[in-house]
Amino acid sequence: LTLRMADDKPAMAPSIGAARVVEACIASALGVIVCFGIKFPSITGPNDIAKPYNTFEEFYPHYQKEHQDPKCRLLHVIGTSITSTLLLFSLVREPSMAPSIVTAAAVGFGLCKALIGLPHGFIEFACLIATFALANKIGGGTLRTPLLLPLVGYSFAWVGHFFFEHNKPATFIYPTFSLFGDFRMCFSILTGLEALDPSAA
């Protein structure tokens, strides 16, 4: 028999979850370097007629024109605010969400350039969500949270487009650019940089 002294304590093994978060952070950093640092050529040919914009700065004025109805803009602000609040609470339980977001954004920007020849953004959108979910899972989080969070924001936004703005959401064409455009517009409205009703500005 092997005797153990009462005050002997077994060495604590490193947290597997913490290790996975570190790995996810390294992966996200590499993803940012690759996707933001390299100008990816299009693998789908020249710009499709539905995708004339190559950079976010070129795209954002178009995004603003597609969001002129104050009710639609208000729904975007509400949905994005709720999603951001839920995200902050989720980060407490799943810190892997942070590097997962960065990784997904990097992949989205890379695919936006690579798939510029397609007339839609469905493949880019699917890869964006899948990367967010899988990166979070690899980092020790769940698949459920990254899949449910977008539903909140997109639900409010799409109600605004289909019932008030009466146009197609930019997500269907430029999913990554439109996601960044949404956060930029909502931040600008909340800080007074943009008016909730553009016609009153």
Contacts of 40 (CB under 8 A, 6+ apart): 110, 113, 114
Phi, psi of 142 (to 5 degrees): -110, 165
| Cα 78 from chain centroid (whole Å) | 17
* Res. 158 pLDDT band, cuts 50 70 90: very high
Confidence check: pLDDT of 31 > 60 = no
- Give the tokens for residue 75: 């729904």
Q: What is the pLDDT of residue 10?
A: 46
**What does the mean pLDDT of the chain come to?**
86
Query: Which candidate, 78, 72, 87, 81, places its Cα nearest to that of 158?
Result: 72
pLDDT over 70, % of the chain: 80
With 60 as the cut, is the pLDDT of residue 86 above it? yes
Total-model pTM: 0.83
pLDDT exceeds cutoff 60 at 105: yes
Per-residue pLDDT tens over the stretch 161-175: 999 999 999 999 999
The answer to whether residues 136 and 96 touch, using CB atoms and an 8 Å cutoff, is yes
% of the chain beyond a pLDDT of 90 = 67
Closest CA to 195 of 90, 68, 75: 68
